Amino acid sequence: MYLTIDCDSPEFSFLLHKHPAKVHSKETNFGEAHVFYPSPQRVSLLLQVDPLSLTRRGGGHVFALKPYVNDRGYVASSFLSVGLNLMFRTALAGRCPKHPELVEKKFAFRVEFPVLPSRGGEKVLEKLFAPLGYQVESSPIALDALYPEWGTSPYYKVVLRVDSRLQDLLRHLYVLIPVLDNEKHYWVGSDEVSKLLAKGDPWLAEHPEKEMIAHRYLKHRRGLARQALEVLQEEIDDPTEVESLTEDVTERKIGLHQQRLETVSQRLLESGATIVGDLGCGEGKLLRYLLKGKRVERILAMDVCLDSLQRAESSLERLHHKKREKIELLHGSLLYNDDRLKAVEAACLVEVIEHLEPDRLNRVAANLFQRLKPQTLILTTPNREYNAVWESLPAGKFRHPDHRFEWTRAEFEQWAGQVKDDYEVSIEGIGEPHPDYGCPTQMAVFTR
Ligand code: SAH
C-alpha cells in the first residue's frame, strides 16, 4: 500500500519530523511502515500489510475479511490512517517546535493513491474532498485488464490537489480514507469517536457530508455516530471549546478526565513510592503526571490492548530519554499473576474495573489485594447515580459502550469493603459534586 505526497516546497520535511535523506521504518501490529523521500519535494509512505498477522490478530476482533485472500495489502484503507498516525503523529498534531511558522503555512500539495477503494464511486470521492477545497482526479481500475467486459472495480487511481496546511491535509486523509473504504479493520470502540473528533478538528463540524462521514467512519454504529455529531454541533454553537479529545464525550464537557489524572497522580506521588504502576494505562495519559514525582524511579504501565500501548509509546517519543527510560510499557492482563509487576509499591487502575466482566472482578481483586499487594492502591470508576445529570445520556445507558457495569456509590463502597483484605480504604469523589447524586467519578484509596 503506497501513498505519495508532493509539496511545492522542501520545507514540509521539517513539519513531518522525518529527515529527507533517511528511510524511516516502524513495526506495526499488521506489518511494517516505511517513510522515505524519492525527491526533496516528495514523500512516500509504504505500508507492508502482512495478511497473516491480520489472521492471527483474530481473537475478539470483528473481522469480516477473508483471512488469506483480501485486498488489504494493496489498497489505501484504515491501515493507512494507522500508518499516518504512527509515522506523522507530530505533524498531525500541528506541532513543530523548531519551525513553528511553518505549521500555519499553506503549501500546494499533490497526493497520489495508486489504488483507493471508493464505495459509492467517484461521486462519493468528490462529495468528500471537494468541499474541503480539493481538486479530485480519478480513474477507475478495471477488474481485469484482460477481460474489459467484466467492467470496473470499486478501486480508483486518485490524484488530489489542494492548497492547505500540512496538518489539515493529513487529518483529512486520516479520516476520509477509511470513510471511502467503508470497511474497518478492527472493532469500533468509543475511543474511535474521540479519534474522529480529534482528527476532524477543525474541519468536520462544517463539512456538508459530516453525517455520512461519522456513520461510515464509526462503521454504522448509530449510537457512536450520534455522540460524535452532537459534539460537532456543539462546536458550531461554541467554537471556543477546545479541550482534550481523548476522553469520553459526555465527560469531556467538564474536563473530568483531566481532574481524575491530577487527583490520582497526586495521591500516588504523596504515597512516597519509588516504583509505581498504572494498570490498564490505555494511551498512557497518566504517565506524564507521574513523571513529575521527584522520588519516582520506575513507572510500570500495563494494558491488555496493544493498540493503546502503541499509542502510548508514540506519545512518549518526544520525552527526554532520562524520563522515557523510567517508563516500561507492558503488554499484559490484570487477570494474570504477572511477576513483572512484583516490585510495584503504589498502583492505580483509573477507569478500568468497569471494563471487566463482573465475573472476572474477583480474580482481578485477588491478584491486586492478595498477590501484588502494593502499599497504596487507587481505583476509580464512574458513579452511576451522577449519569442522571447528563441530559444527553439516555436513562439506563452507560457512559461508554464498552462499560460492563457502572456502580452507585453504595455498590462501590460495598465492593471495596468486601475485597480490601487487610487494607484500610477511604472513598472520595472526583469532579464537581451534585447535591443529590454526588461526584461524577468515585475513587477508592486503599493503603496498608
Ligand atoms: N487508565 C486509562 C485508560 C482507561 S480505559 C485512562 O484513564 O485514560 C480502560 C483500559 O483498561 C483500556 O485501555 C483497556 O484496554 C484496559 N483493560 C481492560 N481490561 C484489561 C485487563 N484485563 N488487563 C489490563 N488492562 C485492561
Q: Which three cell numbers stand for residue 171?
A: 487529518
CA of 195 to the centre of ligand 1 (A): 17
Q: In ligand 1, which atom is closest to the CA atom of 308?
A: 13
Instruction: Render 204-238 in DSSP notation, one character per residue.
Output: GGG-TTHHHHHHHHTTT-HHHHHHHHHHHHHHHH-
Helix (H, G, I), strand (E, B) or coil at 445: strand
Q: Residue 396's pLDDT is what?
A: 74
Q: In ligand 1, which atom is closest to the CA atom of 257?
A: 7
Alpha helices for 61-163 (secondary structure H): 78-87, 89-92, 100-103, 121-129
Strands, sheet with 152-164, edge to edge from the N-terminal-most edge strand: 24-28, 31-39, 42-49, 2-7, 107-117, 152-164, 135-142
Residue nearest to atom 23 of ligand 1 (CA): 333
Q: In ligand 1, which atom is closest to the CA atom of 247?
A: 8
In the chain, where are the structural domains located?
2-186, 256-447
CA of 356 to the centre of ligand 1 (A): 9
CA of 32 to the centre of ligand 1 (A): 26
Q: Residue 246's pLDDT is what?
A: 36
Q: Do 266 and 330 touch, CB atoms closer than 8 A?
A: no
The strand pair at 107-117 and 135-142 is best described as unpaired
Q: In ligand 1, which atom is closest to the CA atom of 350?
A: 1
Element (H, E) at 447: strand 441-447
Q: Residue 56's pLDDT is what?
A: 56
Q: Per the CATH hierarchy, to which homologous superfamily does domain 2-186 belong?
A: Hen1, N-terminal domain (3.30.1610.20)
pTM of the model: 0.52
Q: Do 117 and 125 touch, CB atoms closer than 8 A?
A: no
Candidate of 245, 355, 404 to mutate for ligand 1, largest count of ligand atoms within 8 Å of Cβ: 355
Candidate of 303, 329, 331 to mutate for ligand 1, largest count of ligand atoms within 8 Å of Cβ: 303
Q: In ligand 1, which atom is closest to the CA atom of 335?
A: 22
Q: Residue 250's pLDDT is what?
A: 57
Q: Residue 243's pLDDT is what?
A: 30
CA of 222 to the centre of ligand 1 (A): 24
CA of 261 to the centre of ligand 1 (A): 14
For domain 256-447, is the CATH number 3.40.50.150?
Answer: yes
Topology match between the domains 2-186 and 256-447: no
Q: Residue 58's pLDDT is what?
A: 47
Q: Residue 437's pLDDT is what?
A: 92
Residue nearest to atom 10 of ligand 1 (CA): 280
User: Averaged in consecutive runs of 10 residues, what is the pLDDT profile of the chain (448 residues)?
Assistant: 94 94 88 93 90 55 51 73 90 91 95 90 93 95 88 91 96 92 60 83 90 85 76 54 40 74 94 97 93 94 90 86 93 92 97 93 95 97 90 75 91 96 95 91 96
**Amino acid sitting at position 11:** E
CA of 306 to the centre of ligand 1 (A): 11
Candidate of 261, 265, 276, 352 to mutate for ligand 1, largest count of ligand atoms within 8 Å of Cβ: 352
Residue nearest to atom 11 of ligand 1 (CA): 280
Q: Residue 188's pLDDT is what?
A: 58
Q: Residue 236's pLDDT is what?
A: 53
User: Cα–Cα distance between 23 and 37 in angstroms, integer?
Assistant: 8
Which position has the grid cell 462544517?
Answer: 206
CA of 381 to the centre of ligand 1 (A): 12
Q: Do 205 and 175 touch, CB atoms closer than 8 A?
A: no
Phi, psi of 403 (to 5 degrees): -70, 135
Q: Residue 301's pLDDT is what?
A: 97
CA of 279 to the centre of ligand 1 (A): 7
Residue nearest to atom 18 of ligand 1 (CA): 355
Q: Which residues line ligand 1 (CB under 6 A)?
A: 280-282, 285, 303-305, 308, 333-335, 350-352, 355-356
